[in-house]
Every structure is written in structure tokens, then in C-alpha cells.
Amino acid sequence: MKLLVTGGAGFIGSNFIHYWLEKYPTDQIINVDALKYAGNLENLKDVENNPNYSFVKADISKFNELEPVFKSGVDVVVNFAAQTHVDRSLYDPYEFINTNIVGTKNLLELSHRYKVQRFHQISTDEVFGDLALNSKDKFSEKTLLKPSNEYSATKASAEMLVMAYNFTYKLPTTISNCTNNIGPYQYPEKLMPLAITNIMEGKKVPIYGTGKNVRDWLYVKDHCSAIDLILKKGKTGERYMIGSDHEEISNIQLIKKVLKIMKKDGDWMEFVTDRLGHDRKYAVDWSKIKKLGWKPKYKLDDSIRLTVEWYMNNEPWWKKIKSGEFRKHYEKTYGKK
């Protein structure tokens, strides 16, 4: 089988490529990535010489860059390519529109023209908006799309295009909506790697507002195994929620767990002005995919420990990133420190 993985040089995409090549060593993977700020081929150093892996630098928002890849023959498309950081969508929304909406449209059109056997869209639980902090509700496949910001609005728009291609052109599609991921190779603008690397640098961790916003957390390898199952057993035209098996925790609680693992005492949190339209709570009901035979392998504390250990053991990887473009974004978001 030949898979086209878009955004494969990013966090989840690169982990998925590692997962797939290890589990299915005879399959072929074409990694298409524009190598924008969060795309990093160092994430794939150990597979770059694998004869069943190839890389094509291309921007999914540019149709003419994509079509030659499809002409070579593609069985399955897994679309990870997206602009994902909410803060960036507040000051550069058109980049999100181009990648997340136009790019998805291009991939769908080419998948239709070249008769791809399955198109899988990687989405997020953020397309459903948020829940009240004291709510016992959870997002499910039946929850209406209600995005809160321009990032989640573009991801919701992409989902609608996927659904339209499935209905109108009978393109075999599936969608997965996953909760927050943690693990190796995550760009350090996100909360977990930002916290770990800041602490290693002797800096405080910026926490929005009161820090009481609630999330659940999934180790990225569990996300990869869920996608695998959906591609093998998922019903076309359907969506699947992917979530964790722990009680949701606040951002403050998460950072306290990080500090405990890193054996750091004292005050390491710095509360900053809250993000505009900051979602209060996410919670996911993943009982549908559970019926297919999936459940998370990694417990929360193990997921955090493994993530902390990876960043502590790979300081050159993130040190190189936390300069230049990253520094500009950090100062724009949190102010100069």
C-alpha cells in the first residue's frame, strides 16, 4: 500500500510515519510537507534512507505542487498538514485559511480525480467549541460544530469539505477528532514542551488567565494506533472521536505534574493575560472507536514522564528551535522576557 502523509515533518505526522514504517515495513510512504516553521526533517532522520520512504517539499495550498505526487499513484491520503496554534490564528488567520481550507480542498479534489481508496482527515476536538468548567458533558460524534476561534473555524470548514466530497462524489473519507496530544517532536510553542523547555532553561512557564482551563491529554503513539484502526476498520463517511482514559485536569495540575517529574520545587508558573476567546474545557467521549477495539495504552502519568524524558534527552533538538522565528512568536504572545 502507498500512503501519502501530508504534514509528515510535523509533530503528529512524523510520529505517525515512524509508527507506520515500523508496523508495516513493506508499505510505501510519501511525506509531503511545506517545511514551514513547525515542519522539521530532523524528526525523520532515522527513516530518511528507508527505501519505502520519500519526501516531497510541497505546499498543499498550491494545487500545481501537489498534482505530480498523485500522478505517481496513491492508495491512501492521511492529512495531518495544518496550521494548529490558536495564538497564531489570532494575528495571522489567512495562513490558516490557505493551509487548512484551501489545502484540504486541493487534496480532496486530487483524491477524487485520481481515485484514492481512502482519504482520512486529521481534525481536533476544538471544532466543537468548549464546555463549562463544571459540565459533565463530553463531545461525541453527534456534537454540532461550534468553533470558537479562527483556527478551529478553519478545521471545521475543512471537515465540511470532507463531508461534501463524501456525499457528492462518493469519495471514501473518514474524519478523526482527537484530544490534546503530547510526546516527542512537538514544537515548543505548545504548553507541555514549552513548560519542560522553559524549566530546563531556568525560566517560568507562562500560564493563561487563572490556569483553570481543563483538558485531557493523549500520548501521540496512542493517536497513531487509533488512526491505524480507523483506516483498517472505520466506516467511510463516518467520524471518530479519539480521547484519553483519565479524568480531565486543569493546566495548573498538568504543570504541577511536570514539575514533580522534573523534581523542581518553588514557583515556576507565571500567570499572563488570557488568550482571546480561550476555550474553557474539552472532554471527549470515545466510546465509538472503543467498539472497534481501540483504547489508549499509555496512562497520563506515563505519558507526561515519557514526554519530559524525551525533551530532557534531546536538548539540541529544541534548543535549535527556540531562537529566531520562535523568539519572535514568544515575544508577540507573552511579551519580552
Across residues 16-21, what is the average pLDDT?
98
92 pLDDT tier (thresholds 50, 70, 90): confident
Q: Say which range, 109-113, 123-127, 320-324, has the weakest mean pLDDT.
A: 320-324
Catalytic residue among 126, 216, 222, 248: 126
- pLDDT digit string, tens, across residues 147-161: 999 999 999 999 999
Across residues 42-66, what is the average pLDDT?
98
pLDDT at position 87 is 79
Q: Has 126 been annotated as catalytic?
A: yes
In the predicted structure, residue 144 carries a pLDDT above the cut 80: yes
In the predicted structure, residue 74 carries a pLDDT above the cut 70: yes
Q: Has 151 been annotated as catalytic?
A: yes
pLDDT at position 209 is 96
Q: What is the DSSP string of 106-175?
A: HHHHHHHHTT-SEEEEEEEGGGG----TT----B-TTSPP---SHHHHHHHHHHHHHHHHHHHH---EEE
pLDDT at position 335 is 74
Catalytic residue among 109, 130, 150, 151: 151
- pLDDT digit string, tens, across residues 273-318: 989 889 999 999 999 999 999 999 999 999 999 999 999 999 999 9
- pLDDT digit string, tens, across residues 160-202: 999 999 999 999 999 999 999 999 999 999 999 999 999 999 9
Alpha-carbon distance of 231 to 104, in angstroms, equals 18
Which domains does the chain possess? Answer: 2-181+219-242 (3.40.50.720), 182-214+246-278+299-325 (3.90.25.10)
In the predicted structure, residue 28 carries a pLDDT above the cut 60: yes
Query: What single DSSP character describes residue 46?
Result: G
In the predicted structure, residue 337 carries a pLDDT above the cut 60: no
pLDDT at position 336 is 60
Catalytic residue among 33, 87, 109, 125: 125
Average pLDDT over all residues of the chain = 96
Provide the sign of the torsion angle of the four alpha carbons 197, 329, 13, 254, taken in this order.
positive
Residue 15, C-beta contacts closer than 8 angstroms, at least 6 positions apart: 183, 184, 185, 220, 221, 223, 224
In the predicted structure, residue 248 carries a pLDDT above the cut 90: yes
